[in-house]
Amino acid sequence: MTPLHSDQHVQTGTLSNIVYERILTMIINKELLVGSKLPTEHVLSEKMEVSRPVLRQALKQLREDGVIVSRRGSGSYVTRKPESAAMDFAPAGSLADIQKSFEFRAAIESEAAFLAAERRSERDIQHITSLIKALDICAQNGELGTDLDEELHEAICLASGNTYFVKARSSIKTNILTGMNLTRSLSLTKPKARLETVQAEHYAIVDALKRRDKEGARIAMRTHLEKARIRVFESERKNDDLLS
């Protein structure tokens, strides 16, 4: 394994993202099996030639993503084996940031949906409905549909009547599109039911908007984005549990 040499020009966050992906790669390549214990922080930090703080930041993200679990007095254990496709579709060093962007979106967009249910106009609903129907066609044809997915979420934020939601999303637009491209690309490698599930989540949001159900829209949006975050690493879990 090539060591990671940090210098004053390399951000700790960037290094921790690289360490995060290297540990994921070790799990994907079965160097670390589901159920097995991770090497100690001392061993891992020396192996990758990074500081303990950098390593701990990477481990923290892996715990938050449900890939490892820490047991008091015992250490950290692998709980999930991501599929290799997640690494294939995501740009190098981006997976940790993609997962964080889903957390950010769940907080921002759920509140935007809450307000959109109250403030949306009939014109907003017509536009949002046209977008979700276009996504239906994408799902039926096995097309990616990233741009339409993004346009749908942006339209819901616009319907809130608060431009700060739109500006907040724009500040991480690249991360959002990367995350959408990853999750939708992964879905295309799965049975058609996977994209249909994503569409059902979209429809739950839109239906709540139509009914002016503010709390329902908030919950539906948060549920959708939290599930999208989980889907990045969920597809091989059951098989690995059987094999480990």
Residue 85 confidence (pLDDT) = 78
Token pair 């500006």 is found at: 167
Query: Any idea which fold 12-81 has?
Result: Arc Repressor Mutant, subunit A (1.10.10)
Q: When comparing pLDDT for 243 and 215, which is higher?
A: 215
pLDDT per residue over 2-43, tens digit each? 445 444 333 445 889 889 989 998 998 899 999 999 999 999
Residue range 171-181: mean pLDDT, rounded: 92
Residue range 110-138: mean pLDDT, rounded: 97
pLDDT per residue over 132-150, tens digit each? 999 999 989 989 999 999 9
CATH of 87-234, one of 3.40.1400.10, 1.20.120.530, 3.20.20.450, 2.60.40.1180: 1.20.120.530
Res. 102 pLDDT band, cuts 50 70 90:
very high
Asked if 12-81 and 87-234 have one fold, the answer is: no
Distances (CA, A) of 116 to 98, 103, 130, 154, 209: 25, 20, 17, 11, 7
- Give the 3-state secondary structure percentages of the chain, helix then strand then coil, rounded to 5: 70, 5, 25
pLDDT per residue over 185-200, tens digit each? 988 888 888 889 999 9
* Contact (CB, 8 A) for 179 and 102: yes
Question: At 4, is the secondary structure helix, strand, or coil?
Answer: coil
Joined together, the tokens standing for residue 58 give 């990477």
**Residue extents of the structural domains in the chain:** 12-81, 87-234
